[in-house]
Structures are given as structure tokens and as C-alpha cells.
Structure 1
């Protein structure tokens, strides 16, 4: 099997859409690896896993599944047997019986982390100023404008439901630990990565390295792709 036979599926987290992976997609493509993103609705965790499963139905062959931030819970909750590796990009990885909120709020938040709460429709939006302060502080002004313009809100129902046995118990995992993350502090990331027994890559990057440091993200995904090659 060649690297090109392994497909990469990219799942955006809260407040992002598939465009947040654009630099990673082109970086993988230049290495002969194809990738698709998952249009998660961010309505409930079950809805998001169902959206992932529908995307996986359209793909043949072995899969390396990649999740950013909240999407770590999504990639851990699917059960598709063609998934051969999981890659967590500054992502949350609740254990069985935990919620996303349990791990997100495990440690004291960074001083610049935004205060989050639902609006009148029960949806959680990221405040405009939080993109530059916490979500992607290393991004250019142009990148920040796009991130803010395409942001998608998340429902509290996504983060308040205990998860079942996570897939990282059964397949190998990789973890990109973002040392300068102002949304999910590095201490929390390290705890989760070590609990998962993931292969950890540590970099001085912000919460959204797919935008601000895509080379590091591509590198860790390619490590997983090469490992699952038969």
C-alpha cells in the first residue's frame, strides 16, 4: 500500500469550518495524500458523529482521522473499522463517562481565554475579539478576518454529554500539543495526550496551527499516514 492509498479526514472544531484546514489540505496534497473535511453541524455530539460517519461512507480504503479542539471528542466517538489512526490537533479527548466540558475546564483557563455562554437561541459564539486574543493569536489580520467571518456556533449539547468508550483506546493516536494555546491550556493537553498514550509532538504554536503553523500539522498527520501504511 502506498501513502496515496491512505485517506485523511479532517474534522474542524467549534467556531471553525472546513476552510480552517485549507493549508493542511494543500500541504498533504503536495505529499501525495488526499484529504476531505467533515461538515459537522455542531448541534449535538451525536449529530456531529453522524456527519462524520456519512463522510466516511464516501471514502474507500484506510483512514487517518484528524480532529481539532472540540472535534477530538467527535473522532473518538466514531466506530468505523477503516479508521487506522487518530490525530489530535490541540484537541479534547474525553475518556469514557466524561464530557467535553469536563476536560475543557479541567485546569484554570488562560488569562486571555474568552468568557463563553449561550445566546438567546442557546448557541455559543466566540466573541469577535477572542479570535486575535485566544483562538489564533499568531494569525495575520487577513486570516483573522476570515476566521471571524466564517465562524459557526456550537450548542451546549455538544459538550455536556458523557462519551462512551473512546476509539483512542483501540487504535494508535498522535497528538500535536500547542504550547501557546490560549483556549485549551498546554497542561490540559499534556494530561490528555499522556492518558491516551499518544505520540506527542510539542510546538510553540497557538490554538489553531492548521492556519498559523500548517507545516507542523502536516508533519504529524504524515507520521500517522506512514505508520498505518501496510
Structure 2
């Protein structure tokens, strides 16, 4: 038996790998095909396939046009594929053809970010209407969005606090300037009053000198 320390390290390593390369399971919720591409469409064989994957998911129940097929996600052929968080897959619906290459209903980029509340709707005019289910898809984007909103709220609060502080400092500076100006005005007024008083005193001395009489012996 391996030592417990090695087992714990191995489990931690596997968990870290799983967290790094997390995938999202995609199932088919419903589909309705509007037309068959076979010249003699007795029962068309419709399948789902993503480029780069070997398996083609045949939809055994889908045999008639203009019929809405609903699924629980527990069927033996489910799930359709797995999506990484940060990468899309080129996928599509196809119809097997006995005499030539398979017909294409539609091909598109299937991305985890396309899912809203775990659902993604795909409509192709005159071809099909389908609903895909992926409860964990776009969870990372929602988390980033929520984190962005929290960051934006914190930034707004920080800006408001900064504005309040700047206004308070500006008010203090204005008040200090007004006090300094008032004190300067008082000082100038005292100097002017003192100068006026000295001028009056000097003028009084001059009048006394002019009115003074010579002494009598």
C-alpha cells in the first residue's frame, strides 16, 4: 500500500487539475425539425456532432418533422458534449445521407457564455428549433460580472468618500483664508487708526506752537 501522504498529494493534484480544466455538460432539452433533406424521407436520421470529437450523438427519437421532442437529459445518448469555460466548439445538427455526404441543418460556435440561466436556444429558419441545457455554463462569467459589480460599487463609494474629503479640505482652506483675511484687515485697520491718531496729535502740537505767547519777564 502507498503511504497516506502520497495518496493525499495525488488527490490534491487530481483536484487541482479538475479545477483548472473544468468543463460544462450540455444536454438537449428539446428539438423540432422543420424539414428533412433526404429525397425519400421515410425516417430521417438526425445527429449532433462537434468538430474534434469522434462520437456523433444520434437522436433516435427524432423521426418526424414539425413535432416538438422534449427530453429529460437522462436519455442513454445524453449528454451531447462538454464545454470548457473559456473556449467554444464548432457544433451542429446533421442528417445522414445514404447516397452523398451528410446534410447540414446548421453549424455554429457553441460557447458556455451563450447560456442564460442554464439554457441556450438555437433557431435556424426552415431547419430546426432546439433548446440546450447546461446548468453550470456561464457560471464563471456570472461570477466575474458579480465581482465586477462589487468592484464598481466599492470604487463608487471610494470616489464619494474622496469627494467628501476634498470638499471638507476645501472648506477648511476657505475658512482659514477668510480668518487670515479678517485678521489682516483688523491689523491694517489698527495701523490706519494709529496713524490717524498720531497725525492728529502732531497737528495739535503745531497749533499749540502757533498759539503760544512769548514769556513775560
Q: TM-score, normalised by structure 1?
A: 0.18
Higher relative contact order (CA 8 A, sep 6+): 1
Q: TM-score, normalised by structure 2?
A: 0.19
Greater fraction strand: 2
Query: Bigger radius of gyration, 1 or 2?
Result: 2
